[in-house]
Amino acid sequence: MMGQMAVGDWRWIALRAVAAFIFGILALVLPGLTLATLVLIFGAFALVDGLFTLGHAVTRGRGSGWGAVWMGLMGLAGIGAGIVTFFWPGITALALLYVIAAWALVTGVFEIAAAITFRKVLNHEWLLVVDGVLSLIVAGILVFAPVTGALAITWAIGFYALFSSGVLAAQAWRLRKVGSRGPAGGWAPAGA
């Protein structure tokens, strides 16, 4: 069941990659964004990413155990971060950094947990671990050095989003290839 969940939903992961890519490009191309615009762009990204992640967990998660739970919690965290930014758009820069840091922390923990959960299904689960560790690093920087400047933070978030989109796209591509072989194609989980 776990393998079917991961393989069957490569499209959800690809949609998350596209959302992260668009957010990353916007953050890098428009570094002079006002705080209000950055709040709205982050809110939209977190909400879309959360909805896609939750959709992935709900559509393929039935009977797949902790993998669906982790993905569902990660999706709810993204939706929550998006809702907070939309309902309180006038929050201060520091509050926004803490919202982004909390989201990055939760996402990082859940990505590492997903990598461990799917280690027998994915050949390169270390990509999820790297993405999770980067999420934790971004969260740490935002919590412990919040005054590094809005421009530097915008760039850091933009590059993080682009890297994350690459990791997600690579995972979606690999899962698509595995899924296209199907049960009749002799696919077996990694390490089987």
Domain assignments of the chain as residue spans, ordered by start:
2-182
Look at residue 109 in the predicted model and tell me its pLDDT.
Answer: 92
Q: Give the model's pLDDT for residue 52.
A: 85
What is the number of other CB atoms lying within 10 angstroms of the CB of residue 33?
A: 17
pLDDT digits (tens, 9 = 90+) for 111-122: 898 888 877 777
Nearest C-alpha neighbor of 32 from the set 160, 151, 162, 157: 151
The tens digit of pLDDT for each residue in 96-151 reads 778 888 888 998 998 898 888 877 777 777 888 888 998 898 888 888 877 665 66
Q: Are 167 and 131 contacting, i.e. CB atoms less than 8 angstroms apart? A: yes
Enter the tokens of residue 67: 């993998």
Q: Is the dihedral of CA 124, 100, 137, 61 positive or negative?
A: negative
What is the pTM (predicted TM-score) of this model? 0.57
Taking alpha carbons only, the member of 131, 173, 191 closest to residue 7 is: 173
* 159-185: average pLDDT: 78
End-to-end CA distance of the chain: 15
* More confidently predicted of 156 and 7: 156
Domain 2-182 has CATH 1.10.10: no
- Tokens read off for 22: 């668009």
CA dihedral (45, 101, 69, 54) in degrees, to 10, reads -10
